[in-house]
Amino acid sequence: MTEVIAAEQSQWRNLEQSSGKSQAEWLQLANSKGFAKHSELVNWLKSEFGIGHGNANLIAHRAKQAAAGGEPVAEDLLAAQYSGAKAALKPLYDELMNYVQSLGNDVELSPKKAYVSLRRNKQFALVQPSTATRLDLGLNLKGVKPSGKLEASGSFNAMCSHRIRLTCATDIDDHVKHWLAEAYKRS
């Protein structure tokens, strides 16, 4: 992840926490006004909500990009990941996410084009439908020796130190849950 992307994600998290509005709510508000110019939207956000210029600029930029179809929404990204030949993996993904949500109410799911990033204070895991029959669970467990299902990530994904391959619901066993909970605790 580039420093710019990480900084933007941090800015969104801070804005959501301080304002009580989610990113989606901010974008919907911004696009509901129909301002033609970027500066008009920035000025309206600043005066209407008392937010700083940096946050208003971020919202305006992303709202215009989303309105132009420049950035798909999370639901569209997830639907695309589990379409076609990979559609049969969606129940496995859902079961894994049910467990992830049980770890704590501070888990943030952030769908990307090819995977879903699982974040807390920082990314602790990702879930990727790698083939038509397999999900890969990437984990950040630096310093842990690979063993059994827990293998070194290798070329799978540079953002994770380890990977677990999942092909069916029974693969989400106590071993997998242990390592997922450990990655969560470390983040």
Same domain, residue pair 27 and 91: no
Distance CA 114, CA 60 (A): 26
Please say which residue of 67, 93, 117 terminates a domain.
67
- Residue 1 has a pLDDT of 40
Distance CA 7, CA 110 (A): 15
State the total domains in the chain: 2
Same domain, residue pair 95 and 126: yes
User: pTM for the full model?
Assistant: 0.64
- Residue 109 has a pLDDT of 85
Same domain, residue pair 119 and 166: yes
Same domain, residue pair 120 and 46: no
The H or E element that residue 159 is part of is none
The domain of 167 spans 75-186
Distance CA 44, CA 57 (A): 11
**pLDDT tens column, 7-18:** 677 788 888 888
Which residues sit opposite 139 in a β-bridge? 125, 162
DSSP state of 31: H
Same domain, residue pair 43 and 128: no
* Most confident of the following: 52-61, 92-101, 110-119: 92-101
**pLDDT tens column, 123-154:** 999 999 999 999 999 999 999 999 999 999 98
Burial of 82 (0-12, 13-18, 19+ CB in 10 A): middle
Distance CA 182, CA 118 (A): 13
